A = this chain, B = another copy of it.
Amino acid sequence: MIPLADDAITRDDKALILAYDHGLEHGPVDFADVPASADPETVFDVATHDAVTALAVQKGIAEAYYPSYEDDITLLAKLNGTSNMWMGEPDSAVNWSVENAAELGADAIGFTLYGGSNNEVEMAEEFRQAQEAARDHDMGVVMWSYPRGQGLKNDTSASTIAYASRLGLELGADITKIKYPGSADAMKWACDVAGKSKVVMSGGSKASDRDFLETVETAMNAGASGLAVGRNVFQRENPTALLDGLEQVIFEDKTTEEALSVMSSTETDRVDATSD
């Protein structure tokens, strides 16, 4: 039994998880604006950036692409997920067993829990099985904690998001991914009630570099341990630059201003390099 076994997917107790399960959860329309992002190789390449502590994908993607990247990427096996073609009360199919994920080389599991859904009880019991199997394999456990369903009126209120992060602690996640609740105070509450477990902010909808970095900086100052992000990184024109910036804010304790200046110098460096 190794509680808080998240070493493999953190650096200095911080995490930057690149999540790439949009093809399952939203379908290919999510890639329409940036067609290259439909190709897993594009995203795996992005994930080799030093700032990325883990890449979260579904089983099929891992089977087909991870073997070529296993030296450069830490695999976070996102075990459950469902298409949005289905319109019922929030639920998520368990598409991957922990045993299979471990064989494929995953270092941690990811699992969505829709607290407040009519399927909460069943999902929590599926999480129990996955969490305990992960412990048996010394794998870290990340919960996507997204309150949602008919019992829920406002799923980003401060108390709902604090409840979401507390569920991660109570049920045995090492890291809990929550939505940003809209303010530093609300984020601090959510981080405080998570106790020794870690909280990462989800990337949310697309924003400018500055706005995005500022939100991340606020979250870090409020006690977050990092970020789990998808399109906000891999659908940028220059994902590497943004990852450079995020690295400053998340791992180097830098401000947004400092991060932006690092980003522009890097881009300049590259332009120089290219123009050579």
Pairs across A and B, CB under 8 Å, 26 listed: A4-B63, A21-B170, A24-B171, A27-B159, A27-B162, A27-B163, A28-B159, A28-B162, A28-B163, A29-B162, A29-B163, A38-B192, A59-B131, A59-B172, A61-B170, A65-B195, A83-B115, A85-B120, A86-B116, A86-B149, A88-B151, A92-B121, A93-B121, A93-B124, A94-B125, A95-B125
- Taking a contact as CB atoms under 8 Å apart, the answer to whether B170 and A120 are in contact is no
Question: Which residue of A92, A149, A167, A192 has the most chain B CB atoms within 10 A of its CB atom?
Answer: A167
Name the B residues within 8 Å of A61 (CB-CB): 169-170, 195
- Taking a contact as CB atoms under 8 Å apart, the answer to whether B120 and A82 are in contact is yes
- Taking a contact as CB atoms under 8 Å apart, the answer to whether A64 and B171 are in contact is no
How many residues from A make CB contacts under 8 Å with B? 77
| In the complex, A209 has a CB within 8 A of chain B | no
The interface of chain A, by Cβ under 8 A from chain B, is 1, 3-4, 21, 23-24, 27-29, 31, 35, 38-41, 58-61, 63-65, 67, 81-83, 85-88, 91-97, 100, 103-104, 115-118, 120-122, 124-125, 127-128, 131-132, 135, 147, 149-152, 159-160, 162-163, 166-173, 189, 192-193, 195-197
Complex alpha-carbon distance, A250 and B97, angstroms: 36
- Taking a contact as CB atoms under 8 Å apart, the answer to whether A24 and B91 are in contact is no
Question: Which residue of A58, A83, A150, A151 has the most chain B CB atoms within 10 A of its CB atom?
Answer: A83
- Taking a contact as CB atoms under 8 Å apart, the answer to whether A23 and B116 are in contact is no
* Residue from B59, B92, B168 within 8 A of A171 (CB atoms): B59
**Nearest CB of chain B from residue A46's CB, rounded to whole Å:** 15
Given contacts A23-B170, A118-B88, A167-B24, contact A195 B64 (CB under 8 A): yes
Identical chains in the assembly: 5
Name the B residues within 8 Å of A147 (CB-CB): 85
Name the B residues within 8 Å of A38 (CB-CB): 192-193, 195
Given contacts A85-B151, A171-B95, contact A166 B27 (CB under 8 A): yes
Name the B residues within 8 Å of A85 (CB-CB): 115-116, 120, 147, 149, 151-152, 160, 163
Name the B residues within 8 Å of A60 (CB-CB): 168-173, 197
Closest B-chain residue to A2, C-beta based? B63
- Taking a contact as CB atoms under 8 Å apart, the answer to whether A64 and B128 are in contact is no
Complex alpha-carbon distance, A64 and B173, angstroms: 10
Name the B residues within 8 Å of A149 (CB-CB): 85-86
Given contacts A27-B162, A38-B192, A170-B58, contact A1 B63 (CB under 8 A): yes
**Nearest CB of chain B from residue A264's CB, rounded to whole Å:** 34
